């Protein structure tokens, strides 16, 4: 009888182990792995937060005038009206007449290693003036605060050296 009770208790213990304790141990092991994954993720997040804080400190150290100037190089938006005013002003300063300006559909990329941060916008304009004034205008456009890469230019009407036609194509950029 004692042996029968012993076998019965061992059987209950085995059934309890199989149906209750074993799944719990598997669950605890799974939770241990999840905890380790969360720790790794937490360490990555802490590293990113530290990097963000470091970059923010560096950004705060930049004078506000420089930040404004950097934002003007490649603004958040295309800012077409400002661009037209700037090119018109450069044309007037260099003694040429801006006849037409046209912005094409933006194309992603086109600047440096991380081109995905910028959108390139093809721009073309036609101007009239003397050759010397035209060269001065192109140099002014390339030195302007707003980034414009002159990619191509063509000569139009060459019948009068005092009033020649020129066509300029280039790219301007804005940030995503």
Distance CA 76, CA 59 (A): 17
Average pLDDT on 24-41 reads 85
Strands 148-155 and 107-108: unpaired
Average pLDDT on 80-91 reads 87
The residue among 109 and 128 whose pLDDT is bigger is 128
The pLDDT assigned to 108 comes to 53
- pTM score, two decimals? 0.55
């Amino acid at each position: 009888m004692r042996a029968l009770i012993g076998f019965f208790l061992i059987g209950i213990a085995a059934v309890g182990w199989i149906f209750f304790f074993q799944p719990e141990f598997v669950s605890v092991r799974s939770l241990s792995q999840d905890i380790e994954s969360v720790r790794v993720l937490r360490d990555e997040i802490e590293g990113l937060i530290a990097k963000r804080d470091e970059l923010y400190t560096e950004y705060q150290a930049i004078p506000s005038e420089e930040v404004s100037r950097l934002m003007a190089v490649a603004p958040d938006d295309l800012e077409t009206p400002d661009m037209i005013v700037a090119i018109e002003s450069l044309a007037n300063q260099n003694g040429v007449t801006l006849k037409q300006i046209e912005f094409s559909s933006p194309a992603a990329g086109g600047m440096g290693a991380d081109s995905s941060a910028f959108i390139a916008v093809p721009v073309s304009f036609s101007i009239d003036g003397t050759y010397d004034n035209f060269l001065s205008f192109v140099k002014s456009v390339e030195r302007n605060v707003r980034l414009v890469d002159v990619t191509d230019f063509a000569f139009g009407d060459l019948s009068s050296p005092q009033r020649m036609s020129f066509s300029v194509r280039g790219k301007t950029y804005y940030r995503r």
